[in-house]
Amino acid sequence: MHNHASLKQRLLMLALAMIAAVWIVAAAFTYFDARNEFDEVLDAHLAQAASLLAVQASHELDELDTEHAPQLHKYARRVAFQIWERGELLRLHSANAPQQPLAISKPGFSNNVIDGNHWRVFTTWNDSGEYLIQVAERADVRNDLARSIAVNLLQPLLFALPLLALLLWVAVTRGLLPLDKLAREVEQRDPEALTPLDAEAAPHEVLPLIERLNRLFARIDAAIQKERRFTADAAHELRTPVAAIKAQAQVARTASAEQERIHALDNAILGCNRAAHLIEQLLALARVDALGDVAVEPCCLSDIAAGEIAALAPLALAKGVHIELQESDMVPAANVRGNPELLRMLLRNLIDNAVRHTPSGTAVRVSISNDHGEISMSVSDDGPGIPEQEMAKISERFYRPIGTPGEGSGLGLSIVKRIAEVHNASLQFTPADNGRGLRVTIVFRQ
């Protein structure tokens, strides 16, 4: 799991981050709310102190000589007051009060900066209008109080977070147990076992994963079965020609008549050719089967057809079969995007097939048409054709219709089918024009 993001760590980090964020937001709200409350309460105190002073000033100020009031509390250093006679003469003030007025003489609350200190000031006149009373408090008192509240709120978080982390780790681990169980189950699987995973006991969230996995298993299983079948078939198909070669060679060794011996040796050579052809076709099929994306380029079907016909014509003529190329008037030419090598292989297999199955003295027709941009190529023969019910089977591997001569590999049309697939072209099997024979048509979708 190293180097990979851990689901547990992720869940844990997210949960802790969320908790911390909510806590901090709550603390912030509390802090600002508390500040507002302090402001209200402390402002009320200022106002009350001022009105007390106003009342006292009216009755007792005449009897007072001293200009300084005593200091009674540590916070008193931060609270100051001034009493001005008629707003001009400073009659009484607290020890820490400055000499200049704490604020302008307009009644009410105001904020002022004196000697670098922030003061909150309440100004009022006494009832007779003789004295101006100003009560002030240093603003940092309020800040200190609010800060200590915020710290008290946030401090538990420092201890709570590690504890929460521990508890969450346990919870997350327990919560993810079904996932661990699933992982173990998959890990301990026999690599051959492609049976579906049990979706019954799985948690809802991993169901899609299990379903996908099961579908993947099914696909892999099908592919493996197909490969196994193919290998078994291929082994079977290769054994028969080898058995034939061996049997013919043994017949040649024990033959008493010269003619018999030569016949057996010729047959052994024929068997070797057949085995070689089969091996080549197997390799070609394996190669085209493994193809993913192929390099494509514009290919002229007419050129490819002409080339392949020229290459195969001598063999066909030896069998008494003509190969004809039929092209409808094509404007524009039948150019398709494809891989020229694969298209040649496709056509070679189709023509080879047709020549094998058509009787001597008939013709194999290769035709290319361009019908409003739909380009198709077909190869037809005069052979016995394929019964309707077997049409679907003929591109299966090693399928040979009854009565076909044994020398075919049974793979030609499988190769053709695969090359058509790679070119996104469709493959159609129909009787040829004369009602018998087979016509194979490739339609290119461009």
Partner 1 sequence: MRVLVVEDDALLGDAIQADLKQAGYAVDWMRDGVSADQALTTEPYAAVILDLGLPRLSGLDVLRRLRSRSTPIPVLILTAMDTVDDRIKGLDAGADDYLAKPFDMGELAARLRALIRRASGKAELLLQVGAIRLDPAAHRVLYRDQPVELSPREFAVLHALMLNAGKVLSRARLEEQLYAWGEEVESNAVEVHVHYLRRKLYPELIETIRGVGYMIAADKGS
How many Å apart are CA 197 and CA 415, to the nearest integer? 36
User: Quick one: DSSP state of residue 67?
Assistant: S
Residues of this chain, 182-221, that bind partner 1 according to CB under 8 A:
none
* Nearest-approach distance from CB 317 to partner 1, in angstroms: 23
**Interaction mask 217-256, partner 1, x per CB under 8 A:** ---------------x--xxx-xxxxxxxxxx-xx--xxx
Q: Which is nearer to partner 1, 180 or 260 (CB)?
A: 260
Say whether residue 410 binds partner 1 (CB under 8 A): no
Selected from 191, 373, 403, 435, the binder of partner 1 by CB under 8 A is 403
69: Cβ–Cβ under 8 A, 6 or more apart, which residues? 81, 92, 93, 94, 95
Q: Which is nearer to partner 1, 264 or 316 (CB)?
A: 264
* Nearest-approach distance from CB 231 to partner 1, in angstroms: 12
Q: Which residues pair with 125 in a beta bridge?
A: 132
The token pair at 45 is: 């105190």
Query: Could you write out the DSSP letters of every residue in 71-94?
Result: P-SGGGGGEEEEEEETTTEEEEEE
Say whether residue 135 binds partner 1 (CB under 8 A): no
Residues of this chain, 265-284, that bind partner 1 according to CB under 8 A:
267, 270-271, 274
How many Å apart are CA 443 and CA 425, to the nearest integer? 5
Please state the separation of Cα 114 from the chain's center in Å.
65
**Interaction mask 84-123, partner 1, x per CB under 8 A:** ----------------------------------------
* Nearest-approach distance from CB 312 to partner 1, in angstroms: 23
Q: Which residues pair with 79 in a beta bridge?
A: 137
- Candidates 46-54, 103-111, 206-214, 259-267; binding stretch for partner 1 (CB under 8 A): 259-267
Say whether residue 309 binds partner 1 (CB under 8 A): no
Which amino acid belongs to residue 130? E
How many Å apart are CA 335 and CA 337, to the nearest integer? 7
Query: Could you write out the DSSP letters of every residue in 383-411?
Result: S----GGGGGGTTSTT---TT--TTS-S-
Which amino acid belongs to residue 435? G
Q: Site residues (CB under 8 A) for partner 1? A: 232, 235-237, 239-248, 250-251, 254-256, 260, 263-264, 267, 270-271, 274, 400, 402-403, 405-407
